[in-house]
Amino acid sequence: MAHPQPQSLIRGEAQLVSPWFSNRWSLFNHDVEIARLRRIPQLFISAVELPDGTEWTIEPDGFAVVKAIDADGVEVARVTRRSWWGRRWDITGTRFAYELVSHPVPRRWKIEVGGSALAEIRGSPISYNTVTIDAPLSLPTVVAVLAWHVIARPWEAAAAPRGLIPRSRVVDSAVVAATDVSRRI
């Protein structure tokens, strides 16, 4: 991870929402859209755009590691699985380190530091098409986005898609093209 960038933060209640069977998501904080996300399932990646023009590509990087990469190809943050069943993950960046921990109640998670909850995440009783984040303290937006990826797309986060799709110039150029498309979300 290279140079730190200004961080976009969420505080209070935030929601990630998506229509059923859609690959497009929006992250709202205090009823203001603070990020747009678009899944590109063929490539196992997601494109993220913030209102200030910041862009990230969320992509698996080996077994049980997912990275947020900025438009310059620099890693902004990563999430790494720490438990066999996928109930505990580390979310790290240049300025932070959190744990994403599954709650015993289905569709509930916590973001913790040193065993103390800083935010709670919950999906609706039926699906993860609406994810609510309660963050009484400020939380980097990239942490919420990576947590969403783990919670809503666990098979993508846990797998090693590069093992499913051979790494080649064709795949690399498709990732670049997908990132370019994300600019027009």
Confidence of residue 99 (pLDDT cuts 50, 70, 90): very high
Query: How far, in Å, CA of 9 to CA of 29, rounded?
Result: 9
Q: Between these two residues, 70 and 171, which has the higher pLDDT value? A: 70
Residue at 177 is within a domain:
no
Q: Mean pLDDT over residues 13-25, rounded?
A: 90
pLDDT at 65 over 70: yes
Beta bridge partners of 47: 38, 57
Residue at 126 is within a domain:
yes
Residue at 78 is within a domain:
yes
Residue at 157 is within a domain:
yes
Residue at 113 is within a domain:
yes
Write the DSSP string, 126-142: S-SSEEEEEEEEEEEHH
Residue at 60 is within a domain:
yes
Residue 167 CB neighbour total at 10 angstroms: 9
Structural domain tally of the chain?
A: 1
The one-letter amino acid code at 39 reads R
Q: What is the pTM of this model?
A: 0.79
Task: Check which CATH number belongs to the domain holding 24 and give it.
Answer: 3.20.90.10
Name the one residue in this structure whose structure tokens are 């990732």: 175
Q: Mean pLDDT over residues 16-26, rounded?
A: 89
The residue range of the domain holding 148 is: 9-165
Residue at 184 is within a domain:
no
